[in-house]
Amino acid sequence: MTRKPVDPKPVYLAVYDTLADWETGHTTAYLARAGHGIRTVGASGDPVRTIGGLRIQPDLTLDDVRPEDAALLILPGADLWDTGDELAPFARTAREFLAAGVPVAAICGATAGLAREGLLDDRAHTSAVSFYLAATGYAGGDRYVDTDAVTDGDLVTAGPTEPVAFAREVLGLLGVYEGEVLDAWYRLFHDSDPGAYEVLEAAGK
């Protein structure tokens, strides 16, 4: 139903307490349908609980993660991004991925974590609102784009209300969908456009 991914390596999904359940579902579901394994990564091997109360047992720990083994690192939002430095190791891991040329996708509070790590200082990016990131004291305010989701090189960012746009950027970046098919996928899930379904059906997606 989907085209074979350019890179079938697994996708790493960071998981931690207070993870925002709604932000990455479209992304991980359609990456999985395209052939990518989804592997959850925790700070330790201990289970975590999402905002919705779901219990997740991490597949891997940060110590197990190597950028060259993965196609992408996804950083969801979580309350913990704004309450201390507990999640800072995940932002440092994002730095390692980007330095190795492996994509990173961050949504909601994870964008603030990247801002604190200095990863948004010289990349176009977005988030919930510009002043949310400004409160981190980062130096990238002039690169903030007031839009639903942004891709700059190997980095995708989005705000908490844009899980479908976030998925669109990731699916496009990894080559799962392209062109009018990618646009139709977005219109179907974001706008409930019945005409978009016809495009996807005609393309065998």
Give me the phi and psi of 107, to 5 degrees please.
Answer: -130, 150
What is the percentage of the chain residues whose pLDDT exceeds 70? 97
Q: Where in the chain is the domain with CATH 3.40.50.880?
A: 11-174
* Active-site position among 65, 70, 108, 188: 108
Query: What's residue 159's pLDDT?
Result: 97
Both tokens of residue 113? 């974590």
β partners of residue 39: 12
Residue 135 has pLDDT above 60, yes or no: yes
* pTM exceeding the 0.85 threshold for the entire prediction: yes
User: Is residue 5 very low, low, confident or very high in pLDDT (cuts 50, 70, 90)?
Assistant: very low
Give me the phi and psi of 151, to 5 degrees please.
Answer: -115, 125
User: Is residue 8 very low, low, confident or very high in pLDDT (cuts 50, 70, 90)?
Assistant: confident
Residue 57 bears catalytic tag? no
d(CA 109, CA 20): 9
Instruction: List pLDDT tens digits, range 16-74.
Output: 999 999 999 999 999 999 999 999 999 999 999 999 999 999 999 999 999 999 999 99
Q: Does domain 11-174 have CATH number 3.40.50.880?
A: yes
89 alpha carbon, distance to own chain's centre: 16
Give me the phi and psi of 54, to 5 degrees please.
Answer: -75, 140
**How does the average pLDDT of the chain come out, rounded?**
95
Instruction: List pLDDT tens digits, range 159-183.
Output: 999 999 999 999 999 999 999 999 9
Please, where are the H alpha helices in the chain? 25-33, 88-99, 109-116, 130-134, 163-173, 179-191, 194-202
Both tokens of residue 159? 């705000």
Give me the phi and psi of 14, to 5 degrees please.
Answer: -70, 135
